Amino acid sequence: MEYSKHTTQAIVEDPFKVRPGTQCTVEITYSVKSTHVWDSSTIFSDTFPGLVVPNSIKCSEDIPEGNITITESSGVYTVKIDPIGKGSLSLNIYHYEKETKVLTGISAFSRTNQTYYKDYVLKDGILMPKTILVIGTISGAYEIKAIKVTPIVTNNGIDYWNGYRFNLDSQGLLEYNEEYVNILRKGKQTVELPSDFEGPFLQQTVDNKKLVEFDNQEWKDGYSEARGLLVYGEHVLVTTDKSLCVFDVYGDFSSILLENEFIIGYDLTYYPDDTIGVVVDGKIHKYRLKHDFALIDRENKRVYFREREPEFDVTEA
């Protein structure tokens, strides 16, 4: 668990664990302080709705360990303390409770929001905002003890290329060759941050701000879910909630080489007849790969290649 450098009401995650825009289940374990005035000539007995251990019991006088009995039934803990004859005592008992929230991660900063500009990570010298989860205040919490974050994602695609395994999940996190990349991200952008920003910057502005270049891990506009994956030659085909996208396997997966907005499906597979199958509404739809390697101008003895474009298109089979 790591708090934001700006507030204890928000925690930060690596953008390659939780991408901005990803929903997460956040389980918060916290302690609750219960204060009592105990007539220590009598037995103390009370119940608590969360975990209680002997160290959870604090008193203005030492209580022998043998005088404390803690029992549990259906998640409820009963604390019984035998008399110690020390008069009226202040007794604090701490018990643990859990609260679960569903939160959506946001980018620490972007062109439209710079709230958490001190929360960032450097990867290979490139500045990337961390992902922020705003937990807010927990009613009745004395102290937060642990926070467990679980991204709500599915493993949508697995394929192999040149001995490398490609894994893609629904938040668009692609893992291959021990690398992690968020596909269809907005990519390199610049933003002006306050003067106390301590990371690398391009220049100081006239109004004493810092112009910063960063790699924005947010989804490109219009995209929010990755679905299926297929590696074909030196290209990676991915279905999303907006279209079928084709990427260069050697690229950074922020730029699309080819896009077909008429193909919106899930799983992908390749057939020996040079077609691909896409699962759409529970059925497999086949599409033909239309090759266009080069344009040959025989009259002028020239060959024209489609630079920076795939050597194929995808059409209805």
- Angstrom distance (rounded) from CA 49 to CA 99: 13
- Angstrom distance (rounded) from CA 18 to CA 2: 13
| Tally of CA atoms within 13 A in the half-sphere of 149 that contains its CB | 24
- Angstrom distance (rounded) from CA 266 to CA 241: 9
**Using an 8 Å Cβ cutoff, are 51 and 71 in contact?**
no
| Helix/strand number for the chain, H first, E second | 0, 29
Confidence (pLDDT) at 115: 96
Q: pTM for the complete prediction? A: 0.84
Confidence (pLDDT) at 293: 55
Q: Is the pLDDT of residue 204 over 90?
A: yes
Q: Is the pLDDT of residue 49 over 60?
A: yes
**Using an 8 Å Cβ cutoff, are 274 and 290 in contact?**
no
**Using an 8 Å Cβ cutoff, are 36 and 47 in contact?**
no
Question: pLDDT tens digit string along 51-70?
Answer: 998 889 999 999 999 999 99
The more confident residue out of 313 and 229 is 229
Q: What is the DSSP string of 54-83?
A: GGGEEESS---GGGEEEEEETTEEEEEE--
Which tokens in the block code for residue 12?
């930060």
CA angle 225, 231, 233 (to 5 degrees): 145
Which tokens in the block code for residue 157?
């695609």
Phi, psi of 285, deg, nearest 5: -105, 130
Extents of the domains making up the chain: 10-29+100-151, 37-91, 155-184+220-288
- Angstrom distance (rounded) from CA 94 to CA 85: 23
- With a pLDDT cut of 90, the percent of the chain lying above it is 76
Edge-to-edge strand ranges of the sheet holding 57-59: 57-59, 88-104, 23-39, 143-151
Confidence (pLDDT) at 233: 86
Mean pLDDT for the chain overall: 91
Confidence (pLDDT) at 123: 92
* CATH number for the domain whose boundaries are 155-184+220-288: 2.110.10.10
CA angle 304, 306, 312 (to 5 degrees): 125
